[in-house]
A and B are shown apart, each in its own frame.
Chain A
């Protein structure tokens, strides 16, 4: 039995454990073949996060595309990673979901080994390292560009982070968006954001921004009332994270549609 707690991979990080002992299970571990994935496969999506008085709201559309084809209408791009944090994914779906799963395991593992959760900035930093670890895949076109948001229990406030393809981490104070529809979404959020806004306003702003993005961006799926598909909205406050029920999302969506008639 290995019992040296300071040996590489035997600390509090599941990611390090895999890196040192089970490299085969790391997403970007295998040497990549020469050549690149043909350009032109763009990763259409819009995900966003916004701070409000008591925490953060994080939301995303539901469509996954493969070139000009819809590959899934119901994918969830907002993934709760522990009790007080969530990430939203943009990029290549497979590596994105894999990273979300690994990151969630990382947070849970740390919490169980150490008996307490990582700080929010600790979590954000760890995610940055993982995005950087994905750089070889990103160079082949399989980029993972997440957003990360959560409630900082120590500071008593919601915080949001964005990443670039090389793992560069930036904390934003108010709102962020990523994906092909992020330009439209950011414009929409900029108009709606007020410092200290209540939760209801933030949720409406998030859904409005997704609506605007779906309107003008081919890669972003809009709400689909016929099939009952609605954007994912997750709200995180000091009390924990909760998904907004589909009925509520649908009602807000109808109100937004009526208001723009």
Chain B
């Protein structure tokens, strides 16, 4: 009688992590960066209708890299969590930290207990009244969560994109400068031919009271990049 395979837990986790990392590495990158006008989210996304960036609540935004079906269901769960909190309590009780924690738990559980881990990496950002109150969280496929500083990158060749940002970032800049920085970084991540129309751009606007998430349409993006 054939005996069942034995796979050590270490091996199992390594395999899962490698699988998920490969999936996320194939994705196109997304950058979040602090700007004077708010937190800028820039995704390399040639599709105009299948979004990677989304509004969650008043001051909270979302970005998902990897498998569309997976980050889309996570995005919806996030909107649900935020609207439920805001409805049952009050609008000011919705915050990015609680949402990022929820995502971290969810992804951690799937990673530990399911056959297939989720091939996604998420950004949750919350714009504050001043840049030092901005919050940017990065959540990985295994549920690990990082509070980032001036910028964060998910999906694709994270190291190269982040390296480009570190090289060129010199303090919080204005919208146009920050957008140019992100475009350069995304191009440096292995897409030298990146066009303005390949970018999906959104801003969590600092000066707006209420719902701060604004999409920047293609003409606006081109104007900012050429100015």
Where the two chains meet, the residues of A that have a C-beta atom closer than 8 Å to any C-beta of B are 1, 3, 5, 10, 14, 17, 22, 25, 101-102, 105, 108-109, 112-113, 115
Assuming the contacts A1-B106, A115-B51, asked whether A109 and B73 have C-beta atoms less than 8 A apart, the reply is: no
Nearest CB in chain B: distance from A7 CB, A: 12
The chain A residue sitting closest to B84, CB to CB, is: A22
Assuming the contacts A25-B88, A101-B87, asked whether A3 and B73 have C-beta atoms less than 8 A apart, the reply is: yes
Classify chain B's interface size.
10 to 19
Counted as pairs of residues, one from A and one from B, with CB atoms less than 8 Å apart, the total is: 36
Identify which of B55, B77, B79, B84 contacts A1 (C-beta below 8 A).
Answer: B77
Nearest CB in chain A: distance from B61 CB, A: 11
Classify the secondary structure of A's interface with B: helix
**Interface membership of B150, Cβ < 8 A:** no
Nearest CB in chain B: distance from A114 CB, A: 10
A109–B83 touching, CB < 8 Å: yes
Contact with A along B190-216 (1 / 0, CB 8 A): 000000000000000000000100000
The chain B residue sitting closest to A115, CB to CB, is: B51
Residues of B within 8 A of A5 (CB): 73, 76
Where the two chains meet, the residues of B that have a C-beta atom closer than 8 Å to any C-beta of A are 51, 54-56, 73, 76-77, 79-80, 83-84, 86-88, 106, 110, 211
* A22 and B83 alpha carbons, distance in the complex (Å): 13
Nearest CB in chain A: distance from B35 CB, A: 23
Identify which of B54, B77, B87 contacts A112 (C-beta below 8 A).
Answer: B54
Assuming the contacts A17-B80, A112-B54, asked whether A1 and B87 have C-beta atoms less than 8 A apart, the reply is: no
A14–B110 touching, CB < 8 Å: no
Identify which of A10, A17, A102, A112 contacts B55 (C-beta below 8 A).
Answer: A112
